[in-house]
Amino acid sequence: MRIIRYLEDSQEIVAAVTDDHIVYPLPFRDLMEVVREAKHRQISTVSYIQTLISGKQGIHKEIGELNLLAPIVAPEVWASGVTYEKSREARNYETVEKAAGQETCYDRVYNAERPELFLKSTAARTIGPNAPVYLRSDSNWQIPEPELGLVITREGEIVGYTIGNDMSCRDIEGENPLYLPQAKIWKHSCAIGPAIRLAETVEDPYNLQIICRIYRNDQLVVEESANTRQLRRRYDELVSFLLRDNEVFDGTVLLTGTSIVPPNQFTLEDGDRIEIEVPGIGVLSNPVKSPVKQTIANK
């Protein structure tokens, strides 16, 4: 079972979607309200939703036919770094810190007990399906980072899984790792969606396929895939480090790192379209817009 949000007649609707693609609008403003109410009734979220939708008609629709919004207004999106070998290799390729035979900060963090965690985005900077991700005007080497996202409660319980795009500037981070916040955070630099699959309905979250496709002029120019079984850490471990002496809020999303990096010569361009698919969750599709186009569009 998945949870989506969509816009209909200017109304934001939260809905449950069954595996046979029936959409059931729910009388709640967001998933976290449903989770809290289920807890209060001491039943699982899925059981509670089943009681809500039982006997209801539902709408037979592919979610792509709806005007989808981000599946949750995440107060914060955090991200994990260098949790896959592929990410370590890419970071070592781009960094000026790499001296022959010497360990980099990326090698060290990949092997360390403490993971790399960073604040990726806030609600205002995060977009949902089909909205444009923006490029930075001061970078010439930009890529999407397709990642599995954990949707957590303020206690750190993983209630669902979504897809995230941790847009990144390889040249800015490569010049100096201390530039990480600028390489990672700007307006529309994070997309999540299209749905949240409830954790109870995921058989094995360490066996999810992630596929990334990038289209330029409607031609497929990048297609790569990975599997969460390649992750070096456990999800609970990432969440527990995030919660250490920290306050997180209901509906926080924690991205778990990327194992897909486009070829080193690739950089995103205005007009590209990024698709990130996780079977069972859906396809997160976003067009790419340059700063020049954003300025014109905002006028």
- Using CB under 6 A, which residues numbered 99 to 118 contact ligand DO4? 116
Q: What is the largest CA-CA distance in the chain?
A: 66
Q: Which of 4, 16, 68, 145 binds ligand DO4 (CB under 6 A)?
A: 145
Q: Which residue is nearest to ligand DO4 (CB)?
A: 81
**Residues engaged in binding Mg ion (CB under 5 A):** 145, 166, 258
Helices 45-53, 31-40: axis angle to 10 degrees equals 100
- Of 120 and 197, which has the nearer Cβ to ligand DO4? 120
Residues forming beta bridges with residue 34, ordered by sequence position = none
Q: Which one of the spans 6-14, 54-62, 65-73, 80-88 is the region binding ligand DO4 (CB under 6 A)? A: 80-88
Q: Which of 13, 79, 196, 248 binds ligand DO4 (CB under 6 A)?
A: 79
Q: Which one of the spans 54-62, 83-91, 95-103, 271-279 is the region binding ligand DO4 (CB under 6 A)? A: 83-91
Q: Which one of the spans 46-54, 79-87, 134-142, 243-251 is the region binding ligand DO4 (CB under 6 A)? A: 79-87
Residue 205 touching ligand DO4 (CB under 6 A): no
Residues that bind ligand DO4 (CB under 6 A): 79, 81-83, 87, 91, 116, 145, 166, 257-258
